[in-house]
Chains A and B, each alone.
Chain A
Amino acid sequence: MAVHAFAKSTGRRNRVPGGVGQHTGWRAIMFLLPSWLLLAVFFFVPILLTFYFAFTNLSLTGTSSLATKFVGFQNFVSMFQDPTFRISVIKTIVFLLFSAVIGQQVLGLLLAVLMNERHRLFRSAIGVLVIAGWVTPEIVVAFIFYAFFSDGGTLDTFLSVFHVQPIAWLYAFPMVSVIIANIWHGTAFSMMVYQAALGDVPKEILESAAIDGAGRFQRFVRVTLPMIKGSIATNMMLITLQTLGVFTLIYSLTGGGPGNRTTTLPIYMYQQAFSDYQLGYGTAISLILLMIGIVASFVYLRMLKVKL
């Protein structure tokens, strides 16, 4: 929020004197041209190519790799007839809902609220611990949780103290395992967003609400939450997009298995494109993934009635 306000105010200040002349306009374009070119080459062309490949039978090997044909909507038609695709859409939504929307979002907010207005030492100690999960590279997180959940791993060893038989967590509860790993990895981001947002809530309003007789819970629900609505929407959108794209963590923990039990769309896309050699089909799946991201962002903005 603070950043937004600052950007707006400086923008206004720049525009006031003189306005933008024709001369400066050309100069601006000249300066922007290199970055536009780079964007075009490394960003827009790949996106357009993705759109194109999604409508072809491009493959990594075999005859169709040499004679790639335009197949219209064939990839999309077979995608919607493909039960594994339907399964992986459901898995993606489950993963998104529990690890991002519920897990990271709620836990992040809870941590931020609990840490709010506590002693600085306490805040930094807890903060460092949570952020440690976030700064750890995804592949390292995967290894940590592999060691934690694997047969006879940390969790089983710990539970054996209570005479619990060892459980192959990654095979018995694969989705729960990857969700927990992802929450551990990502919660710090939400926590930091909410810490900043809570810091922006004016103390005067909370105090006056308290004087009017609002309890702790009421103050939080009626005053704090509406005031940080913008941050909730932004955070929700960011972690949704992040979580939709999670590949490394799931792939290295379970490889999408056992069976299809953790095959989210990025995993399915990878399998189709690089293990099954169907590059065109894999690309079509990536477009659907993009659509889900766009739709989800749109829904959040509408639900919370926020303008970014």
Chain B
Amino acid sequence: MKKRTVCIGSSIVLACVGLSGCATNSSHAAPAQTSHQQAAASTTKPRVITVAYQQFGNPPYFNQEWLQQAAQQFEKQYHGVTVKLEPIEASENDFYTKIDLMMKSASTAPDVVTEDTFLINADGSAGYLQPLNAEVKSWPDWSEFSAAMKSGSTSNSGEVYGVPYSTDTRGLYYDVKIFKEAGLPVPWHPKNWNDVLNAAKKIKEKVPGVVPLWMQVGKATGEATTMQTFEMLLYGTHDTLYDAAKHKWIVQSPGFLNSLKWIQTVYADGLGPSFSQILNAQAGNIESQQLMPQQKIGIALDGNWLPGSWQKNGPSPWPDGTKAYQLTAMPTEFGQAPGYTSMSGGWALSISHLSQNKQLAWDFIKIATDKKNMEWYDVHQGNLAPRKDIANDPAYENAPGQFFKVATGFEKFTHFRPANSQYPSVSTQIQAAVEAVATGALTPEQAMQQYANNVQRIVGASNTETVSK
């Protein structure tokens, strides 16, 4: 028995040593190999470029229609080249995982891929994305993109990893009818977190059968939980997530704790929806496509794109949606300057590093993100346009059934997520903390401690810091 264990043990050690040698070699060799492949590929004539994007929830899929339109125009200009759309049917988290896995191998890597800007730095530094600095330099349209949006798809070291095609802001939706029934003021301009909480309490008391305050708190809703809920709170306190000057993650701070405490209060006091609705990957669709059109939600903390679902050809048409609900700015914790807060993200079109048709892929991106195509998409999807020439277009500003003007106003005090390649991994830890607190599995203090431990493990303890005051 003993002999055998020694034998097995030593063989495992040997195998580990042998394999570690192989692995480091191959990872060094990889970039050289791919550049050879590219050179070989460019001599043969490519005929198909693939475009991967997410498809989730109920149709219609405006991103698909938009890409289809761009593909048709592209195919007219580039004879003999076909654009193959590759919809990835997955929830947000699964989509990110799937495109990363696809981009790991040359045989599955799409040429063009839609990237959430929060992942773009991570995927760029993982070597999945092609830097586009030379391309955007010689592209006159690039000057139309706002500086903030450009920085969202640019890494710390200056590589441009994608062309942004949509952005957003976040705020509070409130139902005018429910507010009047509850005796709350309309129009509503809450001045601090307490105002929001008190309004929700009043709705619970006066208007039974509706969800007083909806905000995503599930791990299943992924980045929405981090950004629409947690960061909307945290960036309204005195603290942030990341110390950009020292390049350190702030893992413990009073603002972090207060944000968790606020979430705990909402769910412990029964001001939120039932767990079966909110801890579901479909929570976002339940909210905007079912409950809001039935006017069953008093207040919702969410992104400016929700009315996109209520368009005439949207998944849940509701022409009066933007009259029934109004959008107002999210106040800071105590109303401290600048009084309000918001978060902005967005999506970009990127080229995968292993793509063998990089030039064609870039030509496709230029068509898809020109003024006409991008405006069509942003107006239909309900997203804000990152191009200045669209933002200033009255047809866009006053698009019916949208909150473009109000939501664009939030850009004055908005925040962007840390441009750090570890952000996606840190974000999932936030989601775990938020869900634990909302369900009562952990106290806010315990959840923050767990978050601190996990983030220290992921990014290394030396890259974290604690703010005590």
Contacts and interface: CB of A to CB of B under 8 A. Distances in A.
Given A52-B19, A61-B119, A82 B97 contact: no
Nearest to B103: A61
Interface stretch (A20-28, A102-110, A210-218, A251-259): A251-259
Contacts of A271: 219, 428
B468 interface: no
Contacts of B125: 62-63, 66
A258 B439 contact: yes
B421 A257 contact: no
A257 B432 contact: no
Interface string A113-145: 000000000000000000000000000000000
A8 to B, nearest CB: 24
B93 A62 contact: no
Interface of B is mostly: helix
Contact of A258 (B20, B24, B435): B435
A51 B422 contact: no
B458 A61 contact: no
Interface in B111-156: 119, 122-123, 125-128
Contacts, number: 120
Contact of A278 (B93, B281, B425, B440): B425
A97 interface: no
B276 A170 contact: yes
B421 A63 contact: yes
Interface string B75-110: 000000000000000000100110011000000000
B126 A49 contact: no
A260 B275 contact: no
B466 interface: no
Nearest to B420: A62
A293 to B, nearest CB: 16
Nearest to B126: A65
A28 to B, nearest CB: 24
Nearest to A70: B20
B44 interface: no
Interface stretch (B168-176, B382-390, B449-457): B449-457
A44 to B, nearest CB: 9
B441 A259 contact: yes
Interface residues of B, number: 47
A278 B15 contact: no
Nearest to A49: B19
B429 A171 contact: no
A61 B429 contact: no
A52 B436 CA distance: 32
Contact of A48 (B19, B276, B429): B19
Given A51-B16, A66-B27, A257 B220 contact: yes
B442 to A, nearest CB: 8
A84 B449 CA distance: 12
B274 A151 contact: yes
B439 A259 contact: yes
Interface in A277-296: 277-278, 281
A170 to B, nearest CB: 7
Interface string A70-88: 1000000010011110000
A165 interface: no
B205 to A, nearest CB: 21
A62 B122 contact: yes
A155 B12 CA distance: 51
A150 B127 contact: no
Interface in B380-405: none
A67 interface: yes
A67 B441 contact: no
B27 to A, nearest CB: 6
B422 A82 contact: no
Contacts of B16: 48, 51-52, 55
A160 interface: no
B274 A62 contact: no
Q: Which of A61, A150, A168, A260 has the most CB of B within 10 A?
A: A61
A83 B425 contact: no
B424 A48 contact: no
A255 B220 contact: yes
A275 interface: yes
B23 interface: yes
Contact of B432 (A48, A49, A84, A278): A84
A52 B15 contact: yes
A276 B23 CA distance: 23
Nearest to B450: A83
Interface in B413-464: 421-422, 424-425, 428-429, 432, 435-436, 439-442, 450, 453-454, 457-458
Contacts of A65: 126-127
B458 A278 contact: yes
B218 interface: yes
Q: Which of B27, B119, B458 has the most CB of A within 10 A?
A: B458
A70 B19 CA distance: 11
A274 to B, nearest CB: 5
B156 to A, nearest CB: 11
B279 interface: yes
A230 B436 CA distance: 44
A61 B126 contact: yes
B23 A257 contact: no
Q: Which of A62, A67, A261, A275 has the most CB of B within 10 A?
A: A62
B270 to A, nearest CB: 14
B260 to A, nearest CB: 14
Contact of B97 (A60, A63, A257): A60
6 closest Cβ contacts across the A-B interface? A259-B441, A65-B126, A61-B122, A259-B439, A62-B421, A78-B457
22 contacts: A48-B15, A51-B15, A52-B20, A55-B16, A60-B97, A61-B100, A61-B119, A61-B126, A61-B421, A68-B24, A78-B453, A81-B453, A82-B457, A83-B453, A84-B450, A151-B276, A171-B275, A259-B441, A259-B442, A261-B439, A261-B441, A276-B458
Interface of B: 12, 15-16, 19-20, 23-24, 27, 93, 96-97, 100-101, 119, 122-123, 125-128, 218-220, 222, 274-276, 279, 281, 421-422, 424-425, 428-429, 432, 435-436, 439-442, 450, 453-454, 457-458
